[in-house]
Amino acid sequence: MKEKLVDLFEYTYHFNKEMITVISENLEKIDEKTISLINHTLNAQQVWNSRILGEKSFEVWQINPFENLEEINYQNYLKSIQIVENSDFDQRVEYHNSKGTKFENTIFEMLFQAINHSTYHRGQINSLLKQSDIDPILTDYIFYKR
């Protein structure tokens, strides 16, 4: 299980990095929604990692300096791998969502949410890129594994 989750976080890191690159190469064509979504994608992974580790987290919709996005993505990757390597996936963790509501989920569920959430928003970003006449990135997992 650990090796599969590591692989999925490597995939997530890789395509988040590709998205940041495409956005940076086309900043003159990029709208605010795209900038908001790439930030949200990275912020959410940081938030899930922080919930698991009991650390201070970002705001889910905060806008970070664009030049920091690659480092945020890298730190998210490192933290996620640390969690995978050192956690009991069945352990339940209590946390509060961004509205202050208390929840409890297993570490596996939280990790999978971080991966799935990133995939979802990269799809949205690809749609926005296409609308801005920018070639979208093929981010399907199977393409990554070929």
Q: What is the pLDDT of residues 17-37, one digit of tens each?
A: 999 999 999 999 999 999 999
Helix (H) or strand (E) segment spanning residue 146: none
Cα–Cα nearest to 38, from 6, 7, 10, 72: 72
Instruction: Find the angle CA(58)-CA(59)-CA(62) to the nearest 5 degrees.
Output: 105
- Residue 27 has a pLDDT of 96
Q: What is the pLDDT of residue 47?
A: 98
Residues of the chain with pLDDT under 50: none
- Could you tell me the pTM of the whole model? 0.95
**Cα-trace Rg, the chain:** 15
Please name the fold of domain 2-145.
Four Helix Bundle (Hemerythrin (Met), subunit A) (1.20.120)
Closest alpha carbon to 11 in 121, 115, 137: 115
pLDDT confidence of residue 98:
87
